[in-house]
A and B are shown apart, each in its own frame.
Chain A
């Protein structure tokens, strides 16, 4: 069985401060992991992906995530938040590699205060 848990439903930060969005997964296999972003009334866009290569993954817009197998975590970070980062963020797990039963976490809404 596999699942993904986003530990915070809502995160609020001030502009210019670091962002941390937490994700834990469970998988019987070596999964592929992703972070997607959804801006209001828009579709979803890939931020970054882990597919068994480097454990520290860099994505678009300054985001990065580190795959930690021992902690079964794939937390998303950004050193300095920008107002345009306000959106819903989804952690996604795909067991047995990409495009297999890709399941979304419940999402974390990021608010950025001026």
Chain B
């Protein structure tokens, strides 16, 4: 059963520490999105990639966030240094442009708590 896998599922860290979240998109999917969900802001688009190239990362705080796709099977979202306001659930989602379905398949999220 193909699915998007995110790790870690839960992370508690202290302010100032580096945090790396990983996402394995569904094999063969060529588009990957990162979203952040908080009670106050809802689901915010942070960045997305197509064929591993970043298309838009305007939703990310550039000074501390970075997103990459080292290869087609791995997407990473890094926060350095982390701050309490980064506490949220981070979702990765993937899809295949070309089938024209538009459906995004979501991982179960990485819940980050920054103390």
Bound-state CA distance A20–B103 (Å) is: 22
Q: Assess whether B50 is interfacial by the CB under 8 Å rule.
A: yes
Contact with B along A94-114 (1 / 0, CB 8 A): 100111011111110000000
**Are A107 and B56 in contact, with the CB atoms below 8 A?**
no
Chain A residue nearest to B32 (CB atoms) is A99
| Total B residues in contact with A, Cβ cutoff 8 Å | 23
Bound-state CA distance A49–B101 (Å) is: 8
Contact with A along B31-70 (1 / 0, CB 8 A): 1010100000011110010100000100000000000000
On chain B, the residues within 8 Å of A49 by CB distance are 101-103
Q: Distance in Å from the Cβ of B95 to the closest Cβ of chain A?
A: 6
**Are B106 and A98 in contact, with the CB atoms below 8 A?**
no
Bound-state CA distance A77–B109 (Å) is: 28
On chain A, the residues within 8 Å of B31 by CB distance are 99
Contact with A along B88-105 (1 / 0, CB 8 A): 000101010100111110
Q: Assess whether A63 is interfacial by the CB under 8 Å rule.
A: no
**Are B42 and A102 in contact, with the CB atoms below 8 A?**
no
Q: Assess whether B25 is interfacial by the CB under 8 Å rule.
A: no
**Are A98 and B45 in contact, with the CB atoms below 8 A?**
no
**Are A104 and B35 in contact, with the CB atoms below 8 A?**
yes
Bound-state CA distance A103–B48 (Å) is: 11
Q: Assess whether A43 is interfacial by the CB under 8 Å rule.
A: yes
On chain B, the residues within 8 Å of A51 by CB distance are 100-102
Q: Assess whether A25 is interfacial by the CB under 8 Å rule.
A: no
Chain A residues with a Cβ under 8 A of chain B: 32, 34, 36, 42-46, 49, 51, 90, 94, 97-99, 101-107
Chain B residues with a Cβ under 8 A of chain A: 31, 33, 35, 42-45, 48, 50, 56, 91, 93, 95, 97, 100-104, 106-109
The 27 sampled A-B contact pairs (Cβ below 8 Å) are A34-B102, A34-B103, A43-B107, A43-B108, A43-B109, A44-B93, A44-B106, A45-B106, A49-B101, A51-B100, A51-B102, A97-B102, A98-B95, A98-B97, A98-B101, A99-B31, A99-B48, A99-B50, A99-B95, A101-B45, A102-B33, A103-B45, A104-B35, A104-B45, A105-B42, A107-B42, A107-B43
